[in-house]
Structure formats: C-alpha cells, structure tokens
C-alpha cells in the first residue's frame, strides 16, 4: 500500500503530520507537500518556472510549488510507482460550499483524480485558529481511506471531507452547499501613504440547507461530499441552445460584409 500525502498549509503543518502519522498504520506514506503555506491557491500549476523538491526526511519531500504541483511531481517524478491513494490535508479550516473553488487542499485531490488515482481531501472545520487538535480528523481520514480502497470511487470522482471540531455525532454524505460572502474590502494606508486593500476579510456566512456540507458540520457531523471535475450545468444546456447562436453569427457576418463594401 502506497499513499501520497499532501496539503496546502505547507510541509510543517501539524495537520499534515497528524494525517501522515495515522495513515502510516495502513502502509507506506510518502509526503510530497508545498515548502510553505499555499492556501487558497486553487488548482494552480507552475508551468513557467522550475520546481525544486528537497528531501527533508525519509519519504518526505518539500516542493517549491503549489499543492497541484506536489501531486503532479510526486506521481510523475518522485514516486517510482503510482500510489494507491492520495490524501490531502488535514487543512486547518473548512473547505465547503463555494470555497472549494479556491481551495488548494481540494485541488490536490482533483489533480490526483485527473491522474487516475483515488483521492480524498480532508479539512478540520474549526472557526477558531487556536483549535489545532487534528487527532479525531486523522482517525476519520484513515477510516474513510479504507472505505475508498475497499469500495473504489466512481469514475472521475473524489471525496471532500470536513470534520467538525470536537467529537463528531456521526458521518453524513452531503452535497456542496452555498457560501454567503461578505462584500467587504478593507482599505488602509501603508507607511508611505499609498492605499492598500485586503480582500476576504469580511464575516463569512452560509445557507443552512439540509443535506449540505455546511448543514452537516454545523450540526457536528462529519461531512463527506462526492465531487467530480465536470463543472457543466446540464440543466442549462437546453436553455442556452434556445438562444440560437447561429443566426446571430450569420447576422454578424452579414454586417461585417456590409462594412467592407
């Protein structure tokens, strides 16, 4: 059993350590993680700069790139065989609802999915930055990793796990919920009198809809959401087809020809 562990909080994060320690009970764990915090980096891939991978211990690599780089480089370059599983986390802070599109933790699992390796992303959904007891989340990661390996995931699918702080009441399979973002930009002045701005500083809310990741975690359940990479809104396809783009294109052509004459 070969498990690749990564994260977006950086290789020195206690969440990564707790996860790697627990997964070691299942097999060989190779950590390939960013050499510094890269939270909210999304699915960024470094294509225009060299990457370094420094061996910082046995089966432990610090990569000078993003979580996606770490998974890509790990699978294609550093490991001699394809891993059986990629686990990303344990992130400090939740990754639910629309936040998933920003998450480096989730993107690392996406990258593994693109490479045909089963993956799960796991986050500790604590609002408090002081709360850093990852032990329960690490134990849950191990349980879910075993389930993934036992049952296999549907094609192009990975799972996103959010663990509430404290002792969870159980596990719920959920759908992606809806964030309510505060439209707040903090503007201030630097010591040289120039304006600077801070985005994402406002209070975050969420729609407390039953069946969602937010609802589960808010009720002290572990949330397990199956995700896939196809972002198509299938329900909207027919509606867009009714817009009849082609006659519009012909109109544009006619107008263009008219202009030339």
For residue 27, the tally of other CB atoms under 10 A from its CB is 14
**Encoded tokens for 201:** 């500083």
91 binds Mg ion (CB under 5 A): yes
For residue 140, the tally of other CB atoms under 10 A from its CB is 20
99 binds Mg ion (CB under 5 A): no
Considering only 74-82, 84-92, 140-148, 219-227, which stretch makes contact with Mg ion by CB under 5 A? 84-92
The answer to whether residues 79 and 50 touch, using CB atoms and an 8 Å cutoff, is no
Strands (E), 9-111: 28-34, 53-57, 60-63, 85-92
Closest CB 138 distance from Mg ion, rounded Å: 16
For residue 90, whether the previous peptide bond is cis, meaning omega lies within 30 degrees of 0, is yes
Considering only 14-22, 51-59, 87-95, 147-155, which stretch makes contact with Mg ion by CB under 5 A? 87-95
39 binds Mg ion (CB under 5 A): yes
Using the minimum distance from each CB to Mg ion, give the nearer residue, 129 or 243.
Answer: 129
Using the minimum distance from each CB to Mg ion, give the nearer residue, 74 or 93.
Answer: 93
Closest CB 242 distance from Mg ion, rounded Å: 42
Q: Name the one residue in this structure whose structure tokens are 């509430």.
A: 164
Using the minimum distance from each CB to Mg ion, give the nearer residue, 6 or 39.
Answer: 39
Closest CB 186 distance from Mg ion, rounded Å: 21
Using the minimum distance from each CB to Mg ion, give the nearer residue, 103 or 176.
Answer: 103
The answer to whether residues 41 and 66 touch, using CB atoms and an 8 Å cutoff, is yes
Considering only 56-64, 69-77, 86-94, 154-162, which stretch makes contact with Mg ion by CB under 5 A? 86-94
The pattern of x and - marking residues 4 through 23 that bind Mg ion according to CB under 5 A reads ----xx--------------
Using CB atoms within 10 Å of the CB of residue 79, give its burial: 0 to 12 exposed, 13 to 18 middle, 19+ buried.
Answer: middle
Hey, which residues between 149 and 168 contact Mg ion (CB under 5 A)? none
Using the minimum distance from each CB to Mg ion, give the nearer residue, 66 or 225.
Answer: 66
Closest CB 12 distance from Mg ion, rounded Å: 13
Closest CB 133 distance from Mg ion, rounded Å: 17
> With contacts defined by CB under 5 A, how many residues of the chain interact with Mg ion?
4
How far is the first Cα of the chain from the last one, in angstroms, to the nearest whole number?
71
69 binds Mg ion (CB under 5 A): no
What are the CA-CA distances from residue 22 to residues 100, 128, 182 (Å)? Answer: 25, 23, 37
Using the minimum distance from each CB to Mg ion, give the nearer residue, 10 or 27.
Answer: 10
DSSP string, 146-184: HHHHHH-PPTTEEEEEEEESSS-S-EEE-B---EE----
**Encoded tokens for 198:** 């801070």
Can you give the binding site for Mg ion, defined by CB under 5 A?
A: 8-9, 39, 91
């Amino acid at each position: 059993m070969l498990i690749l562990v990564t994260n977006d909080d950086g290789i020195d994060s206690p969440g990564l350590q707790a996860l790697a320690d627990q997964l070691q009970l299942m097999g060989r764990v190779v950590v390939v993680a960013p050499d510094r915090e890269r939270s909210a980096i999304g699915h960024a891939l470094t294509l225009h700069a060299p990457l370094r991978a420094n061996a910082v211990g046995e089966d432990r690599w610090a990569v000078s790139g993003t979580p996606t780089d770490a998974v890509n480089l790990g699978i294609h370059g550093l490991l001699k065989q394809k891993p059986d599983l990629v686990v990303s986390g344990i992130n400090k802070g939740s990754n639910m609802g629309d936040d998933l599109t920003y998450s480096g933790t989730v993107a690392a699992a996406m990258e593994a999915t693109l490479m045909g390796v089963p993956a799960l992303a796991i986050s500790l959904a604590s609002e408090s930055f002081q709360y850093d007891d990852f032990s329960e989340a690490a134990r849950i990661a191990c349980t879910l990793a075993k389930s993934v390996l036992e049952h296999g995931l549907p094609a192009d699918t990975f799972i996103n796990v959010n663990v509430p702080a404290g002792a969870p009441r159980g596990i719920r399979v959920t759908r992606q919920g809806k964030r309510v973002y505060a439209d707040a930009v903090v503007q201030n002045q630097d010591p040289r009198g120039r304006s600077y701005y801070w985005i994402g500083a406002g209070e975050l809310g969420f729609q407390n809809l039953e069946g969602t990741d937010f609802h589960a975690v808010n009720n002290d359940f572990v949330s397990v959401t199956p995700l896939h990479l196809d972002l198509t809104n299938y329900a909207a396809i027919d509606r867009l087809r009714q817009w009849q783009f082609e006659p519009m294109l012909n109109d544009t052509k006619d107008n263009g020809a008219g202009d030339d004459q």
